[in-house]
């Protein structure tokens, strides 16, 4: 039995993503670029997937491009910069670095 590359739960014999994470991934792809972060999280909860699993899914980095949360945050920050007329963009790695730095300062 294969393990889900997002949450580690059983995914099925030939699958690499479990049913819950497939639902979440599909919803993430539908919502990208269309809603704010609060609404984004509300919509993920509407999938019926338990909150703990949503949090685990958002922290996952199965493709090595940054966690799902960091990717979404980077996309939203880049869009905000464009709207404000600022040059540049954020990458998931930039977001991760800021998150880690902010976490160290609050300790």
Domain ranges of the chain: 1-60, 66-107
Backbone phi and psi for residue 101, each to the nearest 5 degrees, phi listed first: -65, -45
Residue 17: predicted pLDDT: 94
pLDDT tens per residue, range 64-94: 889 999 999 998 888 888 889 988 888 888 8
Place of tokens 């997937």: 49
Could you tell me which residue, 5 or 107, shows the higher pLDDT? 5
Structure tokens at 28: 């993430």
Q: Collapse the DSSP code of 107 into the 3-class scheme (helix H, G, I; strand E, B; otherwise coil) and give the result.
A: coil
Residue 107: predicted pLDDT: 55
């Amino acid at each position: 039995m294969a393990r889900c590359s997002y949450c580690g739960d059983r995914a099925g014999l030939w699958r690499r993503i479990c049913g819950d994470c497939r639902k979440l991934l599909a919803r993430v792809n539908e919502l990208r670029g269309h809603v704010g972060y609060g609404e984004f999280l509300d919509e993920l909860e509407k999938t019926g997937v338990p909150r703990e699993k949503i949090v685990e899914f958002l922290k996952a980095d199965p493709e090595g491009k940054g966690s799902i949360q960091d990717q979404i945050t980077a996309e939203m920050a880049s869009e905000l910069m464009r709207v404000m007329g600022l040059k540049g963009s954020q990458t998931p790695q930039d977001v991760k670095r800021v998150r880690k730095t902010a976490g160290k300062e609050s300790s």
